[in-house]
Amino acid sequence: MLVDYHNHTPFCCHAEGDPAQYVERAIALGIAEIGFAEHSPWMIQKPDEKLAPTDAEFQQFVGQIQALQRQYNHDPASPIRVRLAIEMDFVPERLDIARRYLDQYPWDYVIGSVHHLDHWGFDNPAYRAEYHQRDIARVYDEYFSLIGELAAAGLYDTVAHVDLIKKFGYRPDGDLRPLYRRIAALLKRANMVVELNTSGRDKEAREFYPARPFLETLAEAGVPLTLGSDAHAPEQVGRYFDEARQLLLDIGVRHIVGFERRQRRWIPL
């Protein structure tokens, strides 16, 4: 049984399709649970950018997902369950806002993610050229330091696209396994769940987030895993999930994590 816990809506300003279309796509694929996790209103943006909803728009997002929950979650014969979530950007100086949001809505789970180093949106194609101005090894160190801080903050249930820094294919020289082991230990200590995010296959990285060696390290460390397509259009729901499921089985993972009202349960693959 599979879940897809990372889906966006037009409220993020760079996605398309009605949430009901995402649900219909998930039903067609036999996905048992679909979660919508919209970006947080406090995401770092330049004055001329629109990358996340306002507080008022976020409230509208919640209303739409709750309507779908009323439609699907209370009928025992329903083919799917809908989960309400948020992708909370980890911005250290804005954690007070994040804490307020934790109690504002009835989350099924809370995703933490990192999209900026200082004010550089490193995964935004508009700022890709910045990689040529920086030392890639140092960029990786800075990024994964923030992942460690995110885990230690104690606010989140899962971490999204944990090695997103590779999105455009920039990788440092040398063996990354010591870095993977260090981050896996931090995530295990923080009792975090990591999503196997399949969207990286469609980026220059050409592989899932996290990379297989990183995923193997997480599994060996006992870090629980879940699944997300990071869909920004209905046809992207569940993308590459057959491959993702087989990958998890190949590395010895037999269960993934499901959520409801921030409570975990094991779901067999």
DSSP letter for each residue of 157-175? SEESSTTGGGTTS---SS-
Res 126: pLDDT: 94
Reading the chain (269 residues) residue by residue, the pLDDT tens digits are 899 999 999 988 889 999 999 999 999 999 999 999 999 998 887 777 777 889 999 999 999 999 999 999 999 999 999 999 999 999 999 999 999 999 999 999 999 999 999 999 999 999 999 999 999 999 999 999 999 999 999 999 999 999 999 999 999 999 999 999 999 999 999 999 999 999 999 999 999 999 999 999 999 999 999 999 999 999 999 999 999 999 999 999 999 999 999 999 999 99
Res 110: pLDDT: 98
Res 53: pLDDT: 87
Q: Sort residue 222 into left (φ over 0), alpha (ψ -120 to 50) or beta.
A: left
Structure-block tokens of residue 246: 């087989």
**Could you tell me the residue ranges of all domains in the chain?**
3-268
CATH fold for the domain made of 3-268: TIM Barrel (3.20.20)
Res 42: pLDDT: 84
Res 12: pLDDT: 85
- Judge contact between 34 and 22, C-beta under 8 A: yes
Task: Tell me the whole-structure pTM to 2 decimals.
Answer: 0.96
* CA–CA gap between residue 34 and residue 49 (Å, rounded): 29
Other residues' Cβ atoms within 10 Å of the Cβ of residue 179: 18
Res 45: pLDDT: 75
Res 14: pLDDT: 86
Res 47: pLDDT: 75
- Judge contact between 182 and 172, C-beta under 8 A: no
Res 43: pLDDT: 81
